[in-house]
Amino acid sequence: MVVGEFTVGADVLVIGGGPGGYVAAIRAAQLGKSVTLIEKNDLGGVCLNRGCIPSKAIISMADFVHRMKTMETAGIRVNGITVEMERLQQWKQGVVQKLTQGVASLCKGNQITVVQGEASFVSANEVRVVTEHGSERYRFESCIIATGSYPVELSGIPFDGQRVISSTEALSLKKIPQQLLVVGGGYIGLELGTAYRKLGSEVTVLEGTGQILPGTDPGLVRYVTRNLKKLGVEVQTNALATSLQINGEKVDVTVRVKDETKVFSADQVLVTVGRKPYTGGLELADSGIETNEQGFIKVDRQQRTTNPKVFAIGDVTGNPMLAHKASYEGKVAAEVIAGLPSEMDAVVIPSVIFTDPEIASVGWTEEQAKQEGYETLTGRFPFGANGRALSMEGGDGFVQVIAEKQTKRVLGVHIVGPEASNLIAEATLAIEMCATLEDLSLTVHAHPTLPETIMEAAEAAVGHAIHILNK
């Protein structure tokens, strides 16, 4: 490699080493391409280091603590639980390191050149990468942008990293806040707010719209709302935070709730009101790459941007901002670069919310299916009628299956309840393979297990359910 006016880097240059970028790099290498991966911080990106993985580690331990405190009905009484937050953070970081080291090993094993630095375009086929040793220029045949997203900051409540924090800082707290105010009742705010409540914080959630988890089916959200109340989490909807004031050891946040002005006080304020595409500093205009009004990079079904040599994947291309979507798109981009006839043709993309209980959805809701012109059949089965769920103290919630009336083809599955995040995989496969209600109901499911609820919901849709009364 020659360092100077420019450096001939590789066939494929990948900018960003998150779940989209490193997957794209590995797939391109598997297909015989010479690959250079540029990552500004740590391999694994936000997901592995400051998002998906550390949040689920903390959520899992918070759930464990909560269950230990609430199992007296089963004859299990535990006295004196102590949460040592610093040790919990050390354990969490150990989980993260195992995975990031695994990514590094995979890159090395696939002969990918990894460069730590920040990239910006200087022409249609060249970037400048600033590293701790200076700057280098890389010329590429193809490039994949996978720079992800970052938390939105409220103008009246700016982040300071100490008292007003984003999800990044919330995942690294060395001390459990006595009072935590969560601004934003979307999935990030509710996941972290619920976890810290279970670890001992007093938690208040402020949501600007009329429903927490806006955009999610209200029938699913109802169970989360009810459980938040049981946990003692205060929820205020139609609440717009406008400003803050540091008052000694407390942060006072002024909030407009409908027609009233209220002040909420807390030790720390967690702001989770959305994320923006990370394109700052890339100098996209210098490479002929166009973005839309929201700042997301425009791509076609093959992830190609308006510069035919450059592809973009993941959060930087728009919603849904999901790690598994980024990984899928990364493989598509790599395969297109290698000359394969790939495109983003997934029928559905599942979404999961790790609240209590969990919510998972894939495909259309009944209302959406009707809007698309379908007559529908709908079956619902409650976890309260499932033996495995009851044995886990997880009887809240249900599985709902939506199908086309004429063909019985499954159009959507929506779950709120125990291990919804795992159950949604069967539903996703069913829709992807154009499965029918009969396919689900005639498949023998092991007993006693949670997936039986999907089978029984499918049977309920055609009036054959065994363990509930049919309509």
**Of all residues in the chain, what percent are helix, strand and coil, respectively (each to 5)?**
35, 30, 40
The C-alpha atoms of residue 185 and residue 193 are separated, in whole angstroms, by 9
Q: Is 188 annotated as a binding residue?
A: yes
List phi, psi (to 5°) of 66.
-65, -45
The C-alpha atoms of residue 261 and residue 130 are separated, in whole angstroms, by 47
The C-alpha atoms of residue 54 and residue 179 are separated, in whole angstroms, by 22
Q: Is 148 annotated as a binding residue?
A: yes
Q: Is 45 annotated as a binding residue?
A: no
Q: Is 439 annotated as a binding residue?
A: no
Q: Is 189 annotated as a binding residue?
A: yes
The C-alpha atoms of residue 332 and residue 330 are separated, in whole angstroms, by 5
Q: Is 323 annotated as a binding residue?
A: yes
Strands (E), 325-446: 351-353, 358-363, 376-382, 398-404, 410-417
- Please give the single-letter amino acid code of residue 376: T
Q: Is 260 annotated as a binding residue?
A: no
Q: Is 80 annotated as a binding residue?
A: no
List phi, psi (to 5°) of 41.
-115, -105
447 is catalytic: yes
The C-alpha atoms of residue 57 and residue 49 are separated, in whole angstroms, by 11
Q: Is 414 annotated as a binding residue?
A: no
Q: Is 280 annotated as a binding residue?
A: no
Q: Is 392 annotated as a binding residue?
A: no
Q: For residue 294, how many C-alpha atoms fall within 13 Å in the half-sphere facing its CB?
A: 14
Q: Is 274 annotated as a binding residue?
A: yes
Q: Is 69 annotated as a binding residue?
A: no
Q: Which of 133, 414, 447, 464 does the annotation list as catalytic? A: 447
Q: Is 429 annotated as a binding residue?
A: no
Q: Is 293 annotated as a binding residue?
A: no
Q: Is 1 annotated as a binding residue?
A: no
Instruction: Please say whether the beta carbons of 18 and 56 come within 8 A.
Output: no
**Angle formed at CA 416 by CA 415 and CA 418, multiple of 5 degrees:** 105
Instruction: Please say whether the beta carbons of 203 and 176 come within 8 A.
Output: no
Residues contributing to the annotated binding site for FAD: 56, 147-149, 315, 321-324
Residues contributing to the annotated binding site: 56, 147-149, 184-191, 207, 274, 315, 321-324
The catalytic residue positions are 447
Residues contributing to the annotated binding site for NAD(+): 184-191, 207, 274
